Homo-oligomer: A and B are copies of this chain.
């Protein structure tokens, strides 16, 4: 049996050095070479370099946040980022939305046989850069290889460990009537950057993904608002509409949005119109929603705007006691419409 090539539907040259082979997932010499030549030079650190069965982490606190996310975005590379950057930002942002400081990530990679190493290396470079930018170390990893046609280039799971704040604990169930609803920047960029690429849409400017680490914004909010930082959420899959619906349901409150205040960039709006999509449901990867008592809204906005990533922060609505569990949009014409949860997804495989 020549197992290194079993399962090939479109064989690469035997011994080809520029593409992933099944044997790279074997746990043998090829696996060791994959680690040595591609992963460790970009991601290595004193913990990862030990290559033990598990990483040993010393934590200054006994209470931690743990989050996991798998990334299957198609295509792997898009304007403004790639799956590697996304895999870091997605998970560190989930930690940050708990008010936790991201510290460590684990990395689980599924590679499709035949993936060019140049793509893998670009993804790993972006992943390393994003991890350094977010202040997290990759402390454990695992790589598997599947036959051609059993994946789509690569899938990445990251699981993150963050340090919780002793008293600042935002949660989806803590929104209260009267709270201001803030958003840290323009919406819809990530989803439309990926969709425009997939659909071959051309605009005067290229829509770029907003993929970014939100921890600096959260740190600023923690300092400025303290325990009254009631809700944080990054509106990824399902967009702002889905995130707000989840919060409304969890807190048993209504949310009233002001359509005129929604920060939808012109190019995102145009692309959405062309594809028949609603920007409220389009994924973001570098935007957060915060809910704070109205009296603290200005302080919160000032904290967000103090960081370049939050320069476009604004208030977009209010938490209300009416219509609990529902999100309602007040349109520019004075009408209202319900912003419901979608049954499925308007944009599959966006993250």
Contacts and interface: CB of A to CB of B under 8 A. Distances in A.
Given A67-B55, A68-B141, A144-B72, A108 B108 contact: yes
B29 A276 contact: no
A54 interface: yes
Q: In which size bucket is the chain A interface?
A: 35 or more
A26 B345 contact: yes
A28 B342 contact: yes
A108 B315 CA distance: 34
Interface in A210-254: 233-234, 236-238, 242
Interface string A89-108: 00000110110100010111
Contact of A68 (B1, B107, B349): B107
Interface in A166-193: 171-172
Contacts of A30: 343-345
Given A66-B106, A341-B29, A345-B28, A98 B152 contact: no
A55 B65 contact: yes
A161 interface: yes
Interface stretch (A3-11, A264-272, A297-305): A3-11
Majority secondary structure, A binding face: mixed
Contacts of A233: 53
A26 B245 CA distance: 14
Interface string A145-158: 11101111001010
Interface of A: 1, 3-4, 6-7, 21-32, 52-72, 94-95, 97-98, 100, 104, 106-110, 139-147, 149-152, 155, 157, 159-162, 164, 171-172, 233-234, 236-238, 242, 275-276, 341-349
10 contacts: A6-B348, A22-B345, A26-B237, A28-B345, A55-B66, A58-B62, A62-B62, A68-B142, A68-B159, A70-B109
